[in-house]
Chains A and B, each alone.
Chain A
């Protein structure tokens, strides 16, 4: 199906500075209530709230991979027309609700979105372009599974508007691929990679997993080396996490597979990072490596605390519903199960199952936890955009724990900002616990805003004002 507008945009998209990606979004968590503690009525939306990234979830797969606990379904009878109509409908509704003027990137994740027809992808992109500004150079990524990504399909997706491909290669060892329940062989994956590079030069990413049951360091490094000789400018390394409810988890529980060894995985991570560094890759995030500036701008938006709109069953979003007069960023989760989601979308125009307004502190916690995953960490400037009244220095400058982390060579707080060292990035989750507690402390002990109580009893605080809510 010809979509002239989109095609034109694709042709001009090659010169994008930040590109290429990685894997899927973490979809599928059962959204749970967040504390609606301190909210920020009346505060100005943070800078950049006029734009967002947009994620589209395609919930179907041919087969369940043995390690995957994402929100995915093996359809018996897939009504793609209905699914397409609903994705278009929900994208339209949520874009209006968000009031964003611009979508900087789109990511089709899943499930296996390369199983969707290029027409569906084109329709969603068309809907976005009709409702807001989708710049021609915007990064539009599709997650692709080697078996469902023959050259002709990859070309058709390009025609539909996709300009970046992320291939789930996972392993170059056929035995490991079987262990993972993948439907492709290593050579098929490499074939797909080759096709993708031809069609999407400089904009093809590959995923490689490590830390599988029984996997050894040296053979895995061999796989990485082989991949490096074939890959493009973006690589993601993912450590296997055994998720409850997966086949692999059950096999390890039963003892039919050995439990993955964390020491071995740590060694793979360390060696893998070194190998990629030597090959000229920048580790710009915990799991993501790029050369020639081929960073994924979509995921970068997540890590920098930007807004994103989640479309499709089980998709997560973080945006201010400005189109609805809202001023608080909300954590949003769409209905998980595709049939129910479709019913809701057809009735209400969207399948949002849960909306939780994020308190000021909660937003800062997310900014901290996500920002530190990147190599540049959190710059002072970046932090002040979210919290102008409490600087990084004020929060962390006096902390004994932060000093200890600095002296251990794990963390840096300097005129550029707060970030992990090379060594610290590998143990970020441990470091974060201390930083989160320190942030909570600093938040509780920050100098109280001066405010006066008006005749009506409403408080008029100095800028920020969780107190207003308390008094109401």
Chain B
């Protein structure tokens, strides 16, 4: 399937030969997929698009009757793509074409409602739009489920996809297949969905042949296998929180009917709710009388917290239990970081902002935490780095909160041998999310670290450099294939902590931006982990305790010591900054004592200025943290703990 996302004739050059795509697919183990490339489509006459404006932005009081859309007239599909390959643009054009939204020049990322999504050009929250499309005399209900593209949200993607029977796989013709394309392809493939490849040629968002895309959706994607006669079985594939109405759950009905007044049960929590409101999203909420099997819409049922409407959960009618849909799992944080207010007086504001934001994002794990240097704060668990950044950005943009975010860590595990500790933790295998809680080696049988299976796709001239990088990151190569004449797909098993901070940046910079990267969870592996202390003149600094792999202890210790050296001001005596494992010193830097620190000129004249400077410095001294007799500015720790800005 080929489409150019733009109107206007005279852009023939924009087409990409399907042969290329065929070759490309051919090299991948996807022979079965040849089927969707039906030549029949090419012969079809142009479609007349009949925008069903009556359904647009209709008066909220008018409840649509959804019973006139039987299963066979419904198609549920998603769009998946590598970042910036035109997913949201295609969605915008589809919405315009079906008259779901008015066609203007301003429709950009209509479904991406968050500022962060628009700025980064990504989709964070899955969004849904019901499109009505008249094809061969029949009005079809096409439910577009716009999913997040990034691996951090791959669980959300997989849940969203489970509500679909097919996907449009968008590939930018200039960039070709990228790591995320592959990851998303496999997600769809494993879900046994019909896959319609769409090649987006140019960034001129024109919209040519988008009708053919809609046509393909109807022709090639099977209607959902659903039955109105069966008892209600609804999948929650997303949820949002509204201050006034509570949780709004996005649901796909696998069976049955749901309407206002129904008593429903969450299979996960077994809590009972009464449905207050049902409707479809087009993409704004639109009340309907009922939702029927095969349809996708929203439901409000007095749930007060998004954790009550977890993604992947199944809803059924009270006293009519059904087998829950498979594959439900709670969100599992993969990256942890400390979050603290810049000023402790901001603690309560930040607390309330985090609470509000997590209302909309139940995948963020929140633990109260405190640090001598940074005060009271939280240790937050995120699905991945992008998730962390997005959360941070949303805090700043939507709640005007500014925070200190510490260097991310990963959830290590320890298998305890000490009976005392096992008793204390009430389990043999514990997860360590805060380095300060790292149990001593003498009390542990083994340590485990999370690993991920990473996919890198790169032009082959960078392969050598990338392999060196991966080796330095303790990665083990699993596979390497040429996916076309000059591009290589590498698969590596990475310790997660080796990629959480700056791997992606390094990869991008050594491949001039050409290599793409994606990863998926691959469990845990035994790891030779050690706890590294940072000492100032022999006194340990609690907030700088770090868990590192033994092989990496020296370079990491050295880097921390160097960063501290640059931030701890000279004092009246020499300061030794040391990194230590147990009693063994592995790195050292020295801050020399002040020899001269007195302003030469200090006469009657401008004593005012001098006094101001002194007093400001004296005030700053109050905010110093004392380690032994050393005064350390709090920002010294912040500079060490804080994630280094992206280069």
Contact = CB atoms under 8 A, between A and B. Distances in A.
B601 interface: yes
B605 A27 contact: yes
A84 interface: no
Given A29-B608, A408-B572, A437-B621, A426 B597 contact: yes
Interface in A331-371: 331, 333, 356, 362, 365-366, 369-370
A437 B622 contact: yes
B244 interface: no
B606 A29 contact: yes
Interface string B573-614: 100000000000000000010111111111111111111101
A333 B605 CA distance: 9
B629 interface: yes
Interface string A432-456: 1110110010000000000000000
Interface in B515-556: none
Contacts of A373: 598, 602
Interface stretch (A3-11, A260-268, A382-390): A260-268
B618 interface: yes
B596 A426 contact: yes
B313 to A, nearest CB: 58
A53 B598 contact: no
Contact of B596 (A262, A365, A410): A262
B418 interface: no
A28 interface: yes
A189 B204 CA distance: 73
Interface residues of A, number: 60
Contact of A429 (B592, B599, B601): B599
Given A299-B603, A430-B597, A437-B622, A31 B614 contact: no
Given A287-B600, A425-B598, A430-B597, A436 B605 contact: no
Nearest to A431: B572
A24 interface: yes
A269 interface: yes
A182 interface: no
Nearest to B609: A29
Contacts of A440: 618
B594 A427 contact: yes
Nearest to B601: A26
B537 to A, nearest CB: 14
Given A32-B608, A286-B600, A366-B607, A426 B595 contact: yes
Contacts of B595: 263, 266-267, 269-270, 426-427
Contacts of A425: 598
A5 B129 CA distance: 100
B309 to A, nearest CB: 54
Contact of A430 (B571, B611, B612): B571
A241 B599 CA distance: 8
Contacts of A366: 607, 611
A318 interface: yes
A432 B614 contact: yes
B279 to A, nearest CB: 61
B617 interface: yes
A331 B608 CA distance: 8
Contacts of A267: 595
B602 A286 contact: yes
B631 to A, nearest CB: 9
B594 A430 contact: yes
Interface string A227-255: 00000000001110100000000000000
A433 B601 contact: no
B615 interface: yes
A379 B602 CA distance: 20
Contacts of A429: 597-599, 614
A308 B604 contact: yes
A459 interface: no
Interface string A290-303: 00000000010110
Contacts of A436: 614-615, 618
B448 to A, nearest CB: 47
Nearest to A404: B629
Contacts of A365: 611, 615
Nearest to B615: A436
Which among B595, B602, B604, B605 has the highest number of chain A CB atoms within 10 Å?
Answer: B604
A369 B610 contact: yes
Nearest to A308: B604
A239 B572 contact: no
A410 B599 CA distance: 17
B604 A318 contact: yes
B605 A427 contact: no
B612 to A, nearest CB: 7
B608 A34 contact: yes
B602 A26 contact: yes
A107 to B, nearest CB: 9
Which among A25, A267, A269 has the highest number of chain B CB atoms within 10 Å?
Answer: A25
B621 A434 contact: yes
Interface string B332-362: 0000000000000000000000000000000
B608 A31 contact: yes
Contacts of A302: 603-604, 607
Contacts of A426: 595-598
Nearest to A269: B596
Contacts of A428: 597-598
Given A426-B597, A430-B572, A430-B594, A55 B602 contact: no
Given A365-B615, A436-B615, A26 B597 contact: no
A286 B603 contact: no
Contacts of A28: 605-606
Given A32-B612, A426-B595, A433 B604 contact: no
A275 to B, nearest CB: 16
Contacts of A431: 572
A317 B612 CA distance: 16
Interface string A152-179: 0000000000000000000000000000
Contacts of B611: 362, 365-366, 369
A82 to B, nearest CB: 24
B596 A316 contact: no
Contacts of B617: 433
A373 B607 CA distance: 12
Contacts of A31: 608
Contacts of B614: 369, 429, 432-433, 436
B603 A241 contact: no
B615 A316 contact: no
A266 B603 CA distance: 21
Interface of B: 571-573, 592, 594-612, 614-615, 617-618, 621-622, 629
Given A55-B604, A318-B607, A333-B608, 14 more contacts: A24-B605, A26-B606, A29-B606, A241-B599, A262-B596, A269-B595, A270-B595, A287-B600, A299-B604, A362-B611, A427-B572, A428-B597, A433-B618, A440-B618
23 contacts: A26-B607, A31-B608, A32-B609, A34-B608, A241-B600, A263-B592, A265-B596, A266-B596, A269-B596, A286-B599, A316-B607, A316-B608, A318-B604, A331-B608, A362-B611, A365-B611, A427-B596, A429-B597, A429-B599, A432-B614, A433-B614, A433-B621, A437-B618
Interface of A: 23-29, 31-32, 34, 53, 55, 237-239, 241, 262-263, 265-267, 269-270, 286-287, 299, 301-302, 308, 310, 315-318, 331, 333, 356, 362, 365-366, 369-370, 373, 404-405, 408, 410, 425-434, 436-437, 440
A-B complex: 9 closest residue pairs judged by Cβ atoms: A26-B605, A266-B595, A29-B606, A25-B605, A302-B604, A26-B606, A266-B596, A29-B609, A428-B598
